[in-house]
Amino acid sequence: MKIFKDKISLQKEILNKPISFIPTMGGLHKGHISLIKRSKKFKKKTLVSIFVNPRQFNKKSDYRSYPRNKLKDVSILKNLNVNYLYIPSIKDIYGFKPKHKIYLDKFSKKLCGKFRKGHFEGVINVMNRLIQIIKPKTIFMGKKDYQQLFLIKKFISRHKINSKIIECNTVRQANGVAFSSRNSLLKPNDIKIASRIYYFINKIKKKFDVYNFNFLKTEMIKLGASKVDYIENYNIKKNFIKSKKYNKNCKIFIAYYIKNVRLIDNI
């Protein structure tokens, strides 16, 4: 595996090579590993980036506490025979003017967009720059961050960028909890709370229209959540139209806290 810390050296290496790209902020887990394994099935070189993007954090404390374990991450990637690893500095990412302007679909104002001011602007900004540097043919992204995935696809479509997003299913622990870098900040009892919440939402989803937000919020807090930002149902087949009833075309989106750790999921 070749490791690059500056875009010039990376671009010289990958020039004219078909690249499959997995963008990460490190703290690698089985969800990331599944993306990499799927990428390796394509006849392209696999490139992983590790960059904790400061512009998508709306709290400095959240940015500082975000899980980082570079040595472990590098070891995982070497064992997976990843071709390239890009670990840029903030200056390397933000030290140039990108070709495309940031485009945010109106859906960016809903769900996490309501509660994390500037978050999606930061996400699209860094993806815009990474795509321009790497020019990947395919980008592998998980469905756990479904709103983020949707907005990046809209940005790529808007600017007619020649990169295809490959959507990959959420990978879960045996207890139903979606793998996430932030899980490393949780204690064993916190993981049990997250598991109870997952099974609760799974249980009530087909009768979602019977309940209101206050009831669902109260039940989640009884299960151990410290705070609930949202529980909302959207038809993902109809360009994210909010729906009262749950069906096979819908997903229930949730965001909540266990102590000071914010978790998101869609079920």
- Residues annotated catalytic, as ranges: 32
Q: Which run of H or of E encompasses 129?
A: helix 119-134
**Cβ-based burial of 153 (10 A; exposed 0-12, middle 13-18, buried ≥19):** middle
Radius of gyration of the chain (CA): 19
**How big, in percent rounded to 5, are the helix, strand and coil portions of the chain?**
45, 20, 35
The residue to which tokens 């990460």 are assigned: 24
How far is Cα 152 from Cα 128, in angstroms, rounded to an integer? 9
The beta strands (E) that lie in the chain are given as: 2-4, 19-24, 45-50, 84-86, 138-142, 164-168, 227-235, 241-242, 250-258, 261-266
- 20: which strand partners? 46, 138
CA distance to 34, 198, 209, 242, 253, per residue, from 110 (Å): 28, 21, 19, 10, 11
**Torsion sign over Cα 171, 239, 23, 194:** negative
